[in-house]
Chain A
Amino acid sequence: MEWVKKILQVSGAPFQKKGPLEKLYPLYEAIDTFVLTPGKVTRKAPHVRDSVDLKRMMVFVIIALIPATLMGIYNTGYQMLLAQRLAPDLWTCVSLGAGKVLPIIAVSYAVGGFWEVLFAVVRKHEINEGLLVTGLLFPLVLPPTIPLWMVAVGISFGVVMGKEVFGGTGFNVFNPALLARACVFFAYPSQMSGAKVWVAVDGYTHATPLGVVSQAAHGVDPVQALATAGYTFQNLFWGLRPGSIGETSTFACLLGLAFLLITRVANWKIVVSCVAGVFTMATIFALFNGPDQPAYFALPVYWHYVLGGFAFGAVFMATDPVSAPATRLGAWIYGFMIGVITVIVRVANPAYPEGVMLSILFMNVFASSIDYGVMMSHISSRNKRNKALSSSRTK
């Protein structure tokens, strides 16, 4: 490792103070700390004793995203071949899918990276690995047919308006990747929703499972409707269905979740409470089911978990440590409400077949208020306890 150190030291010289490339120091710093752990030590408390700093944490999230990305690439190709009635063999699927998905990821990283570096240089802060996560999360929640320039618009919006205007990584109110998706979703609805955009074959129309359920006629059994459209539970669980690139496979999301939980990057309380929230709200809707209600009411609860982007959202978006509450009770409330609102939007609002994105963004707004409320209640309960203690002592 000594030679790596040497290379970095030599090549770093022009970036130091008063060097010719002083302005680009953040770029050098990013590469330096990415390759090796810096020798700098914090002067004041708290002294971090763990090797897991922000950079390693972000890298863990990227590792956790690998199954979903690979599955997304495979599935994109698989759906294309299926649409053209060709035999889906593994390598054709992967190469076709990679041809669609990799450019989207590349554009997302390039444009997002441009903004990140620009702000780092102007504001003289460090370049953050948060971008690597945002730049991968965003393509995974887009349909594979998205025009590349829209990817550029979306990621610019996400990085600048979602993160940098608040002061950079760690200060953002919203999840930047999700905000980028919301921007594209509302700006270019015809490229982001409907039945035409989910399979990368021109002119091919195929409703997603969410579309099938939300458009099923009143009184129709939604599971029957799904089966008629060719969707089985296994199908949806493994992820062989049209949808956003990375969200289709619940299985891949579960693999990612396992890794995030083992490394303790994600907060398990949020994921569990998301699941509980969906269960509660879907059960309540099922209780009010009648012949006049939309078919969505009759959908069994467990189907909600494999439909749309729920698994992906709950595992990778809701657990974003910056935009989620930090208190324990707060995490429970936050996740539960995400689950509840997701189901409400799906079932009760015919305009939006999917509600995960909106519900997570909505709860992002309340994350800090939830934390505040939880802390205030802790403070007041402790004050009460102290008062009781001191009064019992004086007796």
Chain B
Amino acid sequence: MSDPAAQKTPAVKEVLFGRANQKIFKDGLWDNNPITYQVMGICSALAVTTSVKTALVMSLGLIFVQGFSEAIIAALRNHIPARIRIIVMMSVVSAFVITLDLVLKAYFYSIWKQLTVFIGLIITNTLVVARLEGFAMHNPPWKSFLDGIGNAMGYGLALTAVSSLREVLGSGTLLGFHVLPRYFYDHGYSNNGLMLLSPGAFFVLGLLIWGHRTIAKYVEGK
């Protein structure tokens, strides 16, 4: 999982935003996108993508949680006993999730009321543990932080794409605004109810993975 460039002992002193670090960040966005390439965090990608708003809040939450928990685990990586590492990871992740939940509750109460269930779900997101275990346990904090926000943003990109399609086709709105003209509905158009059901999310997600892998020319198992 870990990036080969990152494992090499650097001959020259690493720059904070050097090429290697940039690559770590960018990897999660496209080449190693958590949703379409690693196929991680699919449960939440199905659950929160009926509307763009929930998908965006979920992604922002994940960026926060993922970035900081990877940094902290990376800082502790040489002191965590291997046997209990998952428990340590979970407690760090939960701490950030609870912080996020409380901040939202204090300052954005109406959004919190809608999304508290999904925020709690971040803990169960497979992407979080996968990156902690695969990257943060072998890399220094700054790189891990970049990897965390890179992957979470890649996740956010995929979620935004899926949720935009589902919201436009399923409810005819985007971020709650009506985007399909009245004209369509007057002439027999109607919203696609399948898009609002979870099978619809599977189909959209499958098509997204198909598209990404066709463009990236990636074939599994070769």
Contacts and interface: CB of A to CB of B under 8 A. Distances in A.
B190 A183 contact: no
Contacts of A161: 203
Nearest to B169: A187
Contact of B197 (A149, A186, A188): A186
**On chain B, which size bracket covers the interface?**
10 to 19
Contact of B193 (A149, A153, A165, A189): A189
A230 interface: no
Interface in A181-198: 183, 186-191
A20 interface: no
Contact of B194 (A149, A187, A190, A191): A187
Interface string A181-220: 0010011111100000000000000000000000000000
Given A161-B203, A165-B210, A186 B190 contact: no
22 contacts: A147-B188, A149-B188, A149-B189, A153-B192, A161-B203, A165-B206, A165-B210, A183-B194, A186-B193, A186-B194, A186-B197, A186-B199, A187-B192, A187-B193, A187-B194, A187-B195, A188-B190, A188-B192, A188-B193, A189-B193, A190-B190, A191-B190
A50 to B, nearest CB: 37
Interface centre among B189, B193, B197, B206 (most CB of A within 10 A): B193
A183 B203 CA distance: 11
Given A149-B188, A149-B189, 14 more contacts: A147-B188, A153-B192, A161-B203, A165-B206, A165-B210, A183-B194, A186-B193, A186-B194, A186-B197, A187-B195, A188-B190, A188-B192, A190-B190, A191-B190
B128 to A, nearest CB: 30
A191 B197 CA distance: 17
A183 to B, nearest CB: 6
A183 B204 CA distance: 13
A149 B189 CA distance: 9
Interface of B: 188-190, 192-195, 197, 199, 203, 206, 210
A187 B170 CA distance: 9
Contacts of B190: 188, 190-191
Contacts of B197: 186
A128 to B, nearest CB: 21
Nearest to B203: A161
A45 B6 CA distance: 54
A158 to B, nearest CB: 12
Interface string A157-188: 00001000100000000000000000100111
Contacts of A190: 190
Contacts of B188: 147, 149
Contacts of A187: 192-195
Interface centre among A186, A189, A191 (most CB of B within 10 A): A186
Interface in A3-42: none
Nearest to B197: A186
A187 to B, nearest CB: 4
Contacts of B210: 165
A189 B192 CA distance: 9
A193 to B, nearest CB: 12
Contacts of B194: 183, 186-187
A169 to B, nearest CB: 19
A202 to B, nearest CB: 12
A248 to B, nearest CB: 25
B183 to A, nearest CB: 14
Contacts of B203: 161
